[in-house]
């Protein structure tokens, strides 16, 4: 058998000759235990995949191993090459050769791409910054992913997906002994994932130990040598090779995986009436119309009760299009747009909402989450008018009933509306932000990477609610996603973008091969 009981398996850290290992690692916040007695070993020349739902303890474990949670604030011990290690900070672990690429990226918008890539080790002599050397290093690193961006440009022009790629490129450029990647492929297409894995295999074969945290079970066969599964802060499975998906899901969820656990693809909905969203020849520019276009002459429509997918590679212009439609794009926008009968591109987000449009942004940390605020406050922030009496007072009991209903409907955990959103996992935060979008009078819902970094259980809850919104409230839904399975399962029709333009429109029944071919420009090559 590949699987072994935690503490008894053949890959138990003791006597493994591991580069980095942790023994009995635990962490609590007050009375809440988020990690309990975890043993982990990272060996030279292998990839250890770490799986688990949001809130399983994966990120906490990596924060301990990388020194973000310092010695003395967690239980257990860490060793490097068999010798005790005590990391007081992230920089201390990096000096020991441990490089972490977190799920939540820290890219400073006003700095150049090169400066962000090498912020902690800018090249130069006598304390002076050598821009030429930094740009050269950045170009070399960016070539790995075929990113055709100027390293001297400000990072503010990058989409969240592009920011992730530059951080990964910088990490791969370092001389790491242990590389820890927290959801590196969360926003990547198959093409970009293949490029990343090609590089990871090269550095693995050079003797680097790699930790790969992921929700994508299908990619394990391409990269994982061993697998560690966490649930509720404890190890629930160890595998020395990649087992069947059902066995992994059982270890992650603590229940038998059934093929119908995820929603069956819905029957195509017939188009009724006029489109609730109609876009014609819409172009989105970074600065002036004579300069760089991020979306070019885009035309599409979404009908009431219809779920439409928008698929494409990173940099295709999907996120820029979504922000422009919602009145959130800072640059020029040209072309025609009709939202629920109202003509013209919204001038701001308030105008978009008044027309009945809502956007669940890709970057929930900077564009959605109100840090330190409660679940209730986050959920109702943009819909207080729905609970107002005479446009003066808030009907608090009605607001509370709505929040309780949405918490139950979406399965938000914990279910206490007064809990700070900071205490929730990424999947549960996303559920709260989705609920915020569902105000009274909603006509068009745009979801930009709605399940990015979200675990299997939360995905099912989100999918069910999206389909319910379309079916029961006659809302037109536009899903922007890099996840082929998500697009194929959820969408009645699919538009594909390639190099800022619509490359094709496809009906339900389209194959993943056809969509990927369109997204890479190969369909009509």
Pairwise pLDDT comparison (409 vs 7), residue with the higher score: 409
Distance (Å, whole) CA 410 – CA 73: 34
Q: For residue range 210-228, what is the model confidence (pLDDT) as tens digits? A: 999 987 777 899 999 999 9
**Structural domains in the chain, sorted by start:** 18-107+158-260 (3.40.50.300), 277-520 (3.40.50.300)
Alpha-carbon distance of 98 to 89, in angstroms, equals: 12
Q: How far apart are CA 35 and CA 24, in angstroms?
A: 9
Helix or strand run (H / E) with residue 231: strand 226-231
C-alpha 243, offset from chain centre: 25
pLDDT beyond 80 at 258: no
Which has the minimum average pLDDT: 189-198, 243-252, 297-306, 505-514? 189-198
Mean pLDDT of the region 154-168: 81
In whole angstroms, give the CA distance from residue 307 to residue 359: 14
pLDDT at 9: 34
Asked if 226 and 220 touch (Cβ cutoff 8 Å), the reply is: no
Helix, strand, or coil (residue 352):
helix
- Are residues 294 and 284 in contact, defined by beta-carbon separation less than 8 angstroms? yes
The better pLDDT of the pair 381, 496 is held by: 496
Instruction: Supply the pLDDT for residue 158.
Output: 82
pLDDT at 439 over 80: yes
What gap in Å lies between CA 9 and CA 470, rounded to an integer? 48
Q: Is the backbone of residue 377 left (phi > 0), alpha (psi -120 to 50) or beta?
A: alpha
Nearest Cα to Cα of residue 298 among 499, 476, 501: 501
Q: From 239, 235, 253, select the one nearest 24 (Cα to Cα).
A: 235
The pLDDT tens digits of the residues spanning 95-115 come to 899 999 887 777 888 899 999
* Local confidence band at 12 (pLDDT 50, 70, 90 cut-offs): very low
Render pLDDT for 336-377 as a digit per residue (tens, 0 to 9). Answer: 999 999 999 999 999 999 999 999 998 766 666 787 899 999
- Mean of pLDDT values over 197-217: 89
Instruction: Report the mean per-residue pLDDT for the chain.
Output: 85
Q: What is the pLDDT of residue 124?
A: 57
Give every CB contact of residue 9 below 8 A, 6+ residues apart in sequence. 3, 238, 240
Give the separation between CA 425 and CA 461, rounded to whole angstroms. Answer: 14
> Which pTM does this prediction carry?
0.62
C-alpha to C-alpha distance for 309 and 400, rounded to whole angstroms: 33
């Amino acid at each position: 058998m590949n699987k072994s009981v935690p503490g008894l398996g053949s890959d138990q850290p003791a006597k493994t000759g591991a580069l980095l290992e942790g023994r009995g690692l635990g962490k609590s916040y007050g009375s809440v235990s988020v990690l309990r007695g975890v043993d982990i070993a990272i060996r030279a020349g292998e990839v250890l995949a770490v799986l688990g739902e949001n809130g399983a303890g994966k990120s906490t474990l990596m924060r301990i191993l990388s020194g973000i949670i310092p010695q003395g604030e967690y239980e257990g011990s860490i060793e490097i090459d068999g010798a005790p290690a005590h990391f007081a900070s992230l920089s201390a672990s990096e000096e020991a050769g441990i490089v972490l690429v977190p799920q939540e990226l820290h890219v400073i918008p006003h700095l150049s791409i090169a400066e962000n890539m090498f912020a902690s080790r800018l090249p130069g002599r006598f304390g002076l910054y050598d821009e030429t050397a930094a740009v050269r290093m950045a170009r070399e690193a960016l070539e790995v992913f075929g990113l055709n961006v100027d390293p001297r440009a400000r990072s503010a022009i990058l989409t969240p997906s592009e920011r992730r790629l530059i951080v990964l490129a910088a990490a791969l450029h370092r001389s790491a002994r242990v590389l820890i990647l927290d959801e590196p492929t969360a926003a990547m297409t198959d093409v970009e994932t293949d490029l990343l894995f090609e590089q990871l295999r090269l550095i693995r074969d050079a003797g680097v130990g790699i930790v790969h945290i992921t929700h994508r079970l299908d990619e394990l066969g391409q990269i994982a040598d061993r697998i560690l599964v966490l649930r509720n802060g404890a190890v629930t499975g160890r595998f020395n090779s990649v087992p069947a998906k059902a066995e992994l899901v059982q270890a992650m969820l603590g229940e038998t995986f059934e093929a119908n656990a995820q929603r069956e693809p819905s029957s195509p909905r017939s188009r009724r009436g006029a489109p609730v969203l109609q876009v014609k020849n819409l172009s989105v520019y970074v600065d002036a119309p004579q300069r760089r276009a991020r979306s070019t002459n885009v035309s599409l429509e979404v009908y009431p009760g219809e779920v439409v997918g928008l698929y494409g590679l990173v940099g295709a212009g999907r996120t820029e299009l979504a922000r422009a439609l919602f009145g959130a794009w800072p640059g020029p926008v040209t072309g025609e747009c009709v939202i629920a009968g109202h003509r013209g591109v919204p001038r701001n987000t308030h105008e978009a909402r008044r027309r009945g449009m809502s956007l669940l942004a890709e970057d929930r940390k900077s564009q959605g989450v109100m840090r330190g605020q409660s679940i209730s406050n986050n959920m109702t922030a943009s819909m207080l008018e729905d609970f107002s009496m005479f446009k003066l007072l808030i009907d608090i009991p009605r607001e509370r009933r709505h929040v309780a209903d949405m918490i139950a409907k979406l399965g938000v955990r914990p279910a206490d509306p007064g809990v700070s959103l900071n205490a929730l996992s990424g999947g549960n935060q996303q559920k709260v932000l989705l609920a915020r979008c569902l105000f009274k009078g909603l006509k068009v819902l745009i979801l930009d990477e709605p399940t990015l970094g979200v675990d299997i259980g939360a995905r099912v809850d989100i999918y069910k609610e999206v389909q319910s919104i379309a079916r029961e409230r006659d809302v037109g839904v536009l899903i922007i996603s890099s996840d082929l399975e998500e697009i194929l399962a959820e969408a009645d029709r699919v538009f594909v973008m390639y190099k800022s333009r619509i490359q094709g429109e496809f009906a339900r029944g389209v194959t993943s091969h056809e969509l990927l071919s369109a997204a890479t420009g190969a369909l009509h090559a």
